[in-house]
Structure 1
């Protein structure tokens, strides 16, 4: 049995606010008497823009696979279905989106591949899309700032200066999180505390 799917913790109508001149949304106000001892960051979309556009790779791939089951559902119907569960599972390891894909294939009478196979197919497509970004950073053709979420570096520096221990955890495969954190010059902020997904996701 895999992890429980994402569940909303806050009602959609709960008032929130954005930090001035940013896209950072404050869901719950917290007043701290002193800086926190630890801070945990997600990677893709929180710090890094290297994999920006990943839904445009994952969702069409899944729709293609589900269309092959021959249920007669329209592409629009399948796209809505896939978009909903992909976004609900966003933030978890990629494998859980692929597990859900396999379940949807089976539900339609198909014979699904192992979720790890689907994950490899997706990752191969994604790497084709983002290869120029990774190579651009590696060669210096792209500035690191161009592939960082605005304000991310300043936030890390501020926390580090206050003695906060920083942790990086991502649903992206761990080997690529390490590589891309290094390409962006972020590895020094986290040291050994960089974590990502592994194929043996049941551990």
Structure 2
């Protein structure tokens, strides 16, 4: 018997959604698949300097990455600065600031991302290779519904998320806007976007659906009384459940869980019952 592809954790009011906010990386796009495998070693290297990493440092780094998935990179790098100072393995004068660490991380991350984009544009990778199963189909379905506005709010830098949304053909459907990280937490956060959207449109929480694979946006959704659809995606496969991610999304308060959007039609019917 096949595993259910829509898991209801909490029964919520459905059918009234007017605004749907999507995380992008790991929820729609797979262009940045594997970012954790780049950030983890980079953080450990920066913390340890010329010394040997210990299991407790490695665990602290990967636990933080898991819990902070969805937040802006600059926030993660600010935490890295704290960890470097906390462990004290690097001389104080060699400790970088958040922007310095972010540059190192982005330089390493963007090499495989640009390679994937080049392969996709050359026809060596298909749309199915660079997007989560069914995600574009689901987005298109919602975009055609009267009175429903779609948005992206991402922890990735604004210019990059807009470019990558255009690359995979998702950008035209997000009529509400595509938001991404700016220079500081004061300028942009997912919580700020959600709060201002609710205030601007005088919304009740159940009029807002938040869709994402990270605990950050799920916690933000629940803090504002919105409905949270957690995407426990196996990014490496492009479909199917990631059980570690599923557990984190449940802990964060997800109301509904899916592994991907392979059952886009059934998911739409569930969210918008007739």
- TM-score, with structure 1 as normaliser: 0.81
Alpha-carbon offset, residue 200 of structure 1: 3.3
Superposed counterparts of 1:1-203, under 5 Å:
20=4, 22=5, 25-32=7-14, 34-68=15-49, 70=51, 74=54, 76-109=55-88, 110=90, 111=92, 112-163=95-146, 164-191=148-175, 193-203=177-187
Alpha-carbon offset, residue 25 of structure 1: 4.7
- Structure with more contact order per residue of length (Cα contacts < 8 Å, sep ≥ 6): 2
Aligned 8 A contact 1:63 1:82 in 2 = yes
Aligned 8 A contact 2:44 2:53 in 1 = no
The count of aligned residue pairs is: 181
Runs of 4+ in structure 1 deviating by more than 3 angstroms, as ranges, are 24-27
- TM-score, with structure 2 as normaliser: 0.61
Unaligned runs of 5+ in 2: 188-274
Alpha-carbon offset, residue 59 of structure 1: 0.3
Question: Larger deviation: 154-163 or 53-62?
Answer: 154-163
Alpha-carbon offset, residue 97 of structure 1: 1.0
Unaligned runs of 5+ in 1: 1-17
Aligned 8 A contact 1:63 1:79 in 2 = yes
RMSD, matched Cα: 2.1
More helix, by proportion: 2
**Residues 59-105 of structure 1: CA distance to partner in whole angstroms, max 9, x if unpaired?**
001111111275x762x222111001111111110111111110011
Q: Which residue of 2 aligns with 1:10?
A: none
The change in CA–CA distance for 1:73 and 1:143 in structure 2 (over 3 A counts) is closer
Cα distance in 2, alignment partners of residues 52 and 73 from structure 1: 25
The change in CA–CA distance for 1:92 and 1:47 in structure 2 (over 3 A counts) is same
Partner SS for 2:150: strand
